[in-house]
Structure 1
Amino acid sequence: MAGELVSFAVNKLWDLLSHEYTLFQGVEDQVAELKSDLNLLKSFLKDADAKKHTSALVRYCVEEIKDIVYDAEDVLETFVQKEKLGKTSGIRKHIKRLTCIVPDRREIALYIGHVSKRITRVIRDMQSFGVQQMIVDDYMHPLRNREREIRRTFPKDNESGFVALEENVKKLVGYFVEEDNYQVVSITGMGGLGKTTLARQVFNHDMVTKKFDKLAWVSVSQDFTLKNVWQNILGDLKPKEEETKEEEKKILEMTEYTLQRELYQLLEMSKSLIVLDDIWKKEDWEVIKPIFPPTKGWKLLLTSRNESIVAPTNTKYFNFKPECLKTDDSWKLFQRIAFPINDASEFEIDEEMEKLGEKMIEHCGGLPLAIKVLGGMLAEKYTSHDWRRLSENIGSHLVGGRTNFNDDNNNSCNYVLSLSFEELPSYLKHCFLYLAHFPEDYEIKVENLSYYWAAEEIFQPRHYDGEIIRDVGDVYIEELVRRNMVISERDVKTSRFETCHLHDMMREVCLLKAKEENFLQITSNPPSTANFQSTVTSRRLVYQYPTTLHVEKVINNPKLRSLVVLTLGSWNMAGSSFTRLELLRVLDLVQAKLKGGKLASCIGKLIHLRYLSLECAEVTHIPYSLGNLKLLIYLNLHISLSSRSNFVPNVLMGMQELRYLALPSLIERKTKLELSNLVKLETLENFSTKNSSLEDLRGMVRLRTLTIELIKETSLETLAASIGGLKYLEKLEIDDLGSKMRTKEAGIVFDFVHLKRLRLELYMPRLSKEQHFPSHLTTLYLQHCRLEEDPMPILEKLLQLKELELRRKSFSGKEMVCSSGGFPQLQKLSIMGLEEWEDWKVEESSMPLLHTLHIKVCPKLKKLPDKHLPSHLTAISLVNCGLEEDPMPTLERLVHLKVLELGFISFSGRIMVCAGSGFPQLHKLNLSELDGLEEWIVEDGSMPRLHTLEIRRCPKLKKLPNGFPQLQKLSIHGLEEWEEWIVEQGSMPLLHTLYIWDCPKLPGGQHFPSHLTTVCLYGMYLEEDPMRILEKLLHLKNVSLCQSFSGKRMVCSGGGFPQLQKLRIYGLEEWEEWIVEQGSMPLLHTLYIGDCPKLKELPDGLRYIYSLKNLKVSKRWKKRLSEGGEDYYKVQHIPTVEFDY
């Protein structure tokens, strides 16, 4: 694989020399020689890649080639940019500061000669190591034969992992036995999902063996030969009595033509089932399929990682995608492998081992192979200590571990999942490795990812030439999804892949391969300068969740091409000089807090930069030198709104390669930006008429996304003329913030045939019958339109509309009607801020697919439609509506409803009743700000599946109803007249999490559900010590007390809190003394105490809690708790002690 990746880099360098050939006048001979050397080098790399597993010396050579190629590309591209940009005033001085720059053609000639010598030397070394110039494409190293043997599958393999497949097997068997319409069935999914296991169960099923006269099983794999596949099929289909050595020899001697003819005739005359296991490419199927006649006697079962393997023309085809195992089934499979003993006395599986096992299988993500690998590793480990040690780094163990449920040690997760990676073309290998940037469970934005790829020139020229970057990115993601290496789905509103992520095991493979190839350096916390500067050799660097980063001190790698910061919040950029990083192509400083709010002027020296993001960064001043960045294709200046006045110089017009531009939401009024030259733009966000002219938009015909703020006085005619020619728009947003534009009676005609998303915040009092919205519109937002007539008769005719939001003052009338058959595709409806709306009629069969309904701040709406609310609703939110009647009788008939929110005087009655058998699917219920509610009655059988209940500020509600057999999480806020919370025996038996805010008292110990694991108390100011009640909860693991005790003394008794692991105490202003008796909290590992000013000292009993690993306390105790301090003996056993503000 290393050779393929380096070949990709070699091709990029070749393209640079070819495309910019005219700029190398005077050194043409040297360039021609270098191109010849590169061509020779590529042929050697093919052989090197085949031998990468067998020679460390060869791998060293490949790494040396990578350095040569990258160094050459850096210097030659810098030379090219000097030739293109150096005539501009000041730029030559900047370029000369590059350490590798050459000032004239004589030196570039010398440098090219130097590169050629390095190439000659490395080729000589490769030849001495046995690497030959590889000309023949079908070269096969013996290792490939070994790999094929390893991957070969058989129809009768032992199935120790047959778990949860019964339903899938039954369904698939039906396609072969009962369904005559389906000729070809495929089972597709990622490696290790159990496709072969499933196919094997179908192949050996009694109903299948009775249905077919002949059965054949062939393992295809990556490096199959056509003749071998046909020979195996024919051998299986021949009658068993004919299986003699002579017959076998006859088959082996057949030509491909003879094999095809024999098989064709045999399949024509028999009812046969053929299984092609592990087929990789559509092209493989194309060469195999000529043996299948058009007659319908035969059927075919394929297994593949690639969904693009399709059926032959005019053949009905079904693709089956198995899902990963659910938690219960994962545990069953794990037990079969990890506990294979017959005599339970051999070793004891204690409770801790069981919990560790349950936790570890979560990392397997339901992938059967990963569960088998884990079970195999644990099967011979007999103590809880062994299990605990393995669980600490479970990811790397799973990927790098070996199985013991198979005789072949190579059959590990790493090996099986890596096969998918090895099969990728080189450009997709780069795309996949780029995903190593992102942390576990990170939702990766495909748009950003696409521009990363484009900035690093990973896109293939044949895909990228003239195409939209976002489209090419979607093509690549789709290919990775089809190969089951990336998890993503197209968004129903945009038809694009919006986010993607990796399965846990595939991510481990990605990290492993990235490390092997030195593709990327990942750091979560900036280490010390000395240590880090000596270790960073990769040309890509990502910081995950830093708090502070000093670029000048920490990063000293002049060859760095990519610097990305990923964060969940703001972080401090202590140094912003990039003088040593002038080869950067990608710089992502999302949410950075820049010193003084200024981006350093040295940013202009990064003349190779293609991607620059300051999204949500705290920046107020962009320097003029930004104009030097002529190669930028992505520029995100959508900086933090905390920056009230932002300066952006008028230098953007020179960035003619820009495809994506996001401007700040707030720019100084006097700033004028000329943008008419940016005709390659595909996305333009936060365009404002305050700073730019609408006329500039006319030439941006490639735009797919455009958001406009109309601030200066603007006419409808000017707006229409400026954007009317943007015929490829897919998303358009127009916010009128002061243009004083008034539409004509007919409104605005949006003649954009590709438009899918439209948001309008402007005065538009009427949608006439002549109004035409784009027919493909999927999402529509209207606000401040002040429509005088009901918009529903027009909008309900938009056949593709899936989401509709009518926001503040979008409609000023009183009645809306949704007609029968209207809104056939609508899935989500939000109506907010319609202050005059009183009556809503919904006719039968309207909005048949609606699943989400939000109605908020519609104070005059007195009731819901009685009969015809769409029956498939799953989520409803009613907030600040003037409902006069109890809405429950209407809502509880919605049998698919799962989430319900009623808030802020949505119901003004005193009593609310939930009838028995009502809300059969309700999972989550939120009641808030119901000022008049005094009594809530829940009859037996109501809400049988409710697992989350939140009650906020219902001041007159005095008690909770009983019941809720499935309730798991309960939050109670501000029940001021709460008298008692009585939990009857057996009520809420599954409740594990309890949050209580601003309530006057704590329930008595006898009233707490016994299985609670988490209790959080906020703002309660209890007078009595809460510990005496809480410590008796035997399953409690997490406790938070925040402003919830007004007394002076708390005691944790010996034997109390037997399972507690985390304790957080904050804001107890009167608390002075804490006693912890020996034997209390024996499993506590994390303790946080903050803002408790009168607490004199930490309890002596902490020194007996040997499980404590993390302690965080006020910095005023630092002296006492540090080594040599008077209380150091209490905490000296704790590995991590931190001091807060």
Structure 2
Amino acid sequence: MCISDCSNCSSLPPVGRLPNLKELCISQMKFVKTIGVEFYGSTGSSVIQPFKSMEKLRFYWMTEWEEWVPSGSGGVDFLRLQELILQDCPKLRGNLPCDLPCLKKLILDECGVLHDQRATSVNMKYKSLEELRIGEGLFDGVLSLLETKLLSKLEIVSLNDIQCLPNINRLQSLRLCKCPTLSSFPEDGLPTTLTLLVITFCRRLELPHEMLAKLTSLGHLAISHSCDSMRSFPLGIVPKLTSLFLWDCKNLESLSLIEEGVDENLSLFRIAHCPNLVCFPRGGLPAPNLTELEFINCKKLKSLPERIHTLTRLRSLKIRDLPNLESIAEDGGLPHNLRHFCIENCERLRASSVAEYWGLRGLVSLEEFEIGGRGSDEILETLLKQHLLPTTLHRLKISRLSSLKSLDAKGLKHLTSLSFLSISNCSALEKRYKKKTEKAWADISHIPCIKIGKEVII
């Protein structure tokens, strides 16, 4: 059942009497200030067991809701409740139900509900709680819940008055978002059971290398708009890491390598919007099983990691918005098993280096090639005229080329497996190939599927 936006209602109907109701969502009831005995179906003198089957209860955008009153039945109001979500209930000051024996998931976001409940929060009986999300000043009110033995997922959002995390045991997933004053992790570090760690908009937070080394189960690490004190990230320090995202770490200068450290399990690595990144470890990335690699908007970066050709399992390589990039794969070419290659807005790359070093002809597994933006006109022209792209290529995507007026017809016909050509935001090329009646259409008409601008031609 969903009850929403009933603008003339000041109270809720007695839905607690519905014995088979499992899911209830209540939202935008702007005149409801109190949820009391009428909600449970009580009449005052009679005592019933409300919400006998309720499993999921959600409240959204209850702007005037101030008080949540228990049923007074003497028993547990929500005996089978597994999921409780309260979001955007800014005036709520009453207590949450204290006894929820089956509760597994609790989300409290942008609510005032626990501001005045610090003393009573210790009475919360949420022994089955597995997933908790808290935000907007609610942290002190739910500290006791962090000690729940089954708690495996924790998300803390938009807290402005927390400096250090308390000790948290047995967690598998931790997300920290928009905590501007948070500066440190617990003294004893994070639990070794942690498999996922996401840090977003926590600029002051420091990430000790010795703590990372102890996270022996960590598989996914994402740091975004955070950890401003971090100048170097140590590759190979987290033994089971499979995916690593570094996004807008504004003072990050280098990726370092701990002694004999190897990221054997790392398969996905993305680094973006790190304006001061200048170098990688000598000898290349210690990630032999890497399958996806992305570098996006790192303005000072002049070259990619050395010996990139040794990443023999690499399937996807994306290079975007690297205005000072001068060289790619000049010590052995690109990885032979590459399937998807994207290069955009790398204006200092020269077509001569493409022809000499990249070894694109040998990439017999390459299925898709994307190219566009500043500096790409000459590179694409060279690739087509010199037949440097492999004949196995299936998809060619061209975008934002300002000066290129035509595509080499022989170069396109050389691509005998090409089944899809996309041309977007290239005014001169779109004008040339837009009409099937023009002579230029013959240069591309052999391709089964063509997309020019927003029009798809089959």
TM over 0.5: yes
Note the alpha carbon deviations across 1:738-774, whole angstroms, 9 max, x for none. Answer: 22524689xxx97111211111233445759xx5231
Q: Contact 1:898–1:923 at 8 Å: present in 2 too?
A: yes
For the aligned residue pairs, the C-alpha RMSD in angstroms reads 3.5
Shift of 1:701: 4.5
Aligned partner of 2:402 among 1046, 1069, 1073: 1069
Q: Contact 1:1022–1:1046 at 8 Å: present in 2 too?
A: no
Structure 2 length-normalised TM: 0.80
In structure 2, what is the Cα distance between the partners aligned to 1:884 and 1:895?
21
**Pairs within 5 Å for 1:1119-1134:** 1119-1120=437-438, 1126-1127=439-440, 1129-1131=442-444, 1133-1134=446-447
Aligned partner of 1:1057 among 367, 389, 395: 389
In structure 2, the CA distance between the partners of 1:932 and 1:1033, relative to structure 1 (3 Å rule), is: farther
Q: Which runs of 5+ in 1 are unaligned?
A: 1-683, 1099-1113, 1121-1125
Q: Contact 2:8–2:31 at 8 Å: present in 1 too?
A: no
Shift of 1:693: 6.1
**Pairs within 5 Å for 1:708-787:** 708-716=26-34, 718-723=35-40, 725-742=50-67, 751-761=77-87, 762=89, 763-765=91-93, 772-786=98-112, 787=114
**Pairs within 5 Å for 1:137-156:** none
Note the alpha carbon deviations across 1:46-75, whole angstroms, 9 max, x for none. Answer: xxxxxxxxxxxxxxxxxxxxxxxxxxxxxx
Shift of 1:864: 0.9
Aligned partner of 1:823 among 148, 154, 168: 148
Q: Find the residue that maps to 1:1050 and give its secondary structure.
A: helix
Equivalent residue, structure 1, for 2:327: 1003
Q: Find the residue that maps to 2:342 and give its secondary structure.
A: strand
Q: Contact 1:858–1:881 at 8 Å: present in 2 too?
A: yes
Q: Find the residue that maps to 1:958 and give its secondary structure.
A: coil
In structure 2, the CA distance between the partners of 1:1042 and 1:713, relative to structure 1 (3 Å rule), is: same
Q: Contact 2:318–2:343 at 8 Å: present in 1 too?
A: yes
Shift of 1:863: 0.8
Equivalent residue, structure 2, for 1:893: 214
Q: Which residue identity lines up with residue 427 of structure 2 in the other structure?
A: P
Shift of 1:1009: 3.2
In structure 2, what is the Cα distance between the partners aligned to 1:1023 and 1:1054?
17
Q: Contact 1:968–1:992 at 8 Å: present in 2 too?
A: yes
Equivalent residue, structure 1, for 2:420: 1086
**Pairs within 5 Å for 1:78-157:** none
The reply to whether residue 879 of structure 1 matches residue 200 of structure 2 is: yes
In structure 2, what is the Cα distance between the partners aligned to 1:967 and 1:948?
6
Shift of 1:831: 1.0
Q: Contact 2:420–2:449 at 8 Å: present in 1 too?
A: no
Q: Find the residue that maps to 1:853 and give its secondary structure.
A: strand
In structure 2, what is the Cα distance between the partners aligned to 1:895 and 1:776?
31
Shift of 1:706: 1.0
In structure 2, the CA distance between the partners of 1:1072 and 1:782, relative to structure 1 (3 Å rule), is: same
Shift of 1:1094: 1.7
Q: Find the residue that maps to 2:194 and give its secondary structure.
A: coil
Shift of 1:736: 4.5
Equivalent residue, structure 1, for 2:46: none
Q: Contact 2:370–2:397 at 8 Å: present in 1 too?
A: yes
Q: Which residue identity lines up with residue 805 of structure 1 in the other structure?
A: R
Shift of 1:883: 4.0
In structure 2, what is the Cα distance between the partners aligned to 1:896 and 1:1082?
47
Q: Contact 2:419–2:449 at 8 Å: present in 1 too?
A: no
Q: Contact 1:1054–1:1080 at 8 Å: present in 2 too?
A: no
In structure 2, the CA distance between the partners of 1:801 and 1:862, relative to structure 1 (3 Å rule), is: same
Structure 1 length-normalised TM: 0.34
Aligned partner of 1:1038 among 346, 350, 368: 368
Shift of 1:795: 8.2
Aligned residues: 424
In structure 1, what is the Cα distance between the partners aligned to 2:175 and 2:330?
40
Q: Contact 1:1073–1:1096 at 8 Å: present in 2 too?
A: no
In structure 2, the CA distance between the partners of 1:686 and 1:1024, relative to structure 1 (3 Å rule), is: farther
| Greater RCO structure (CA 8 Å; 6+ sep) | 2
Shift of 1:702: 3.5
Q: Find the residue that maps to 1:1009 and give its secondary structure.
A: coil
Q: Which residue identity lines up with residue 423 of structure 2 in the other structure?
A: I
Q: Contact 1:877–1:901 at 8 Å: present in 2 too?
A: yes
Q: Contact 1:706–1:731 at 8 Å: present in 2 too?
A: yes
In structure 2, the CA distance between the partners of 1:791 and 1:910, relative to structure 1 (3 Å rule), is: farther
Select between 799-808 and 1075-1084 the one with higher mean Cα deviation: 1075-1084
Q: Which runs of 5+ in 2 are unaligned?
A: 42-49
Equivalent residue, structure 2, for 1:832: 157
Q: Which residue identity lines up with residue 381 of structure 2 in the other structure?
A: M
Q: Contact 2:247–2:272 at 8 Å: present in 1 too?
A: yes
Equivalent residue, structure 2, for 1:967: 290
Choose between structure 1 and 2: higher strand proportion: 2
Equivalent residue, structure 2, for 1:957: 277
Aligned partner of 1:929 among 223, 226, 248: 248
Note the alpha carbon deviations across 1:342-390, whole angstroms, 9 max, x for none. Answer: xxxxxxxxxxxxxxxxxxxxxxxxxxxxxxxxxxxxxxxxxxxxxxxxx
The reply to whether residue 854 of structure 1 matches residue 182 of structure 2 is: no
In structure 2, the CA distance between the partners of 1:1003 and 1:720, relative to structure 1 (3 Å rule), is: farther
Q: Contact 1:790–1:811 at 8 Å: present in 2 too?
A: no
In structure 2, what is the Cα distance between the partners aligned to 1:983 and 1:1045?
23
Q: Contact 2:122–2:144 at 8 Å: present in 1 too?
A: no
In structure 2, the CA distance between the partners of 1:796 and 1:1083, relative to structure 1 (3 Å rule), is: farther
Equivalent residue, structure 2, for 1:452: none
Shift of 1:876: 0.8
Note the alpha carbon deviations across 1:422-447, whole angstroms, 9 max, x for none. Answer: xxxxxxxxxxxxxxxxxxxxxxxxxx
In structure 2, what is the Cα distance between the partners aligned to 1:1023 and 1:983?
16
Q: Find the residue that maps to 2:256 and give its secondary structure.
A: strand
Q: Contact 1:830–1:854 at 8 Å: present in 2 too?
A: yes
Shift of 1:1033: 5.0
Q: Find the residue that maps to 1:1094 and give its secondary structure.
A: helix
Q: Find the residue that maps to 1:773 and give its secondary structure.
A: coil
Shift of 1:715: 3.5
In structure 2, the CA distance between the partners of 1:720 and 1:807, relative to structure 1 (3 Å rule), is: farther
Note the alpha carbon deviations across 1:984-1011, whole angstroms, 9 max, x for none. Answer: 3764332221111211135334254332
In structure 1, what is the Cα distance between the partners aligned to 2:121 and 2:64?
29
Select between 1028-1037 and 975-984 the one with higher mean Cα deviation: 1028-1037
Q: Contact 1:792–1:817 at 8 Å: present in 2 too?
A: no
In structure 2, the CA distance between the partners of 1:743 and 1:686, relative to structure 1 (3 Å rule), is: closer
In structure 2, the CA distance between the partners of 1:885 and 1:1118, relative to structure 1 (3 Å rule), is: same
Q: Contact 1:1046–1:1069 at 8 Å: present in 2 too?
A: no
In structure 2, the CA distance between the partners of 1:1119 and 1:827, relative to structure 1 (3 Å rule), is: same
In structure 2, the CA distance between the partners of 1:1003 and 1:709, relative to structure 1 (3 Å rule), is: same
Q: Contact 1:804–1:829 at 8 Å: present in 2 too?
A: yes
Q: Find the residue that maps to 2:381 and give its secondary structure.
A: strand
Q: Contact 1:796–1:823 at 8 Å: present in 2 too?
A: no
Choose between structure 1 and 2: higher helix proportion: 1
In structure 2, the CA distance between the partners of 1:750 and 1:797, relative to structure 1 (3 Å rule), is: closer
Q: Find the residue that maps to 2:408 and give its secondary structure.
A: strand
Select between 922-931 and 781-790 the one with higher mean Cα deviation: 781-790
Note the alpha carbon deviations across 1:837-890, whole angstroms, 9 max, x for none. Answer: 2222216xx3x3x32111111111111123252222111101122445333321
Task: Quote the sequence identity (%).
Answer: 22
In structure 1, what is the Cα distance between the partners aligned to 2:330 and 2:428?
32
**Pairs within 5 Å for 1:547-696:** 684-690=1-7, 692=9, 694-696=11-13
Q: Find the residue that maps to 1:889 and give its secondary structure.
A: helix
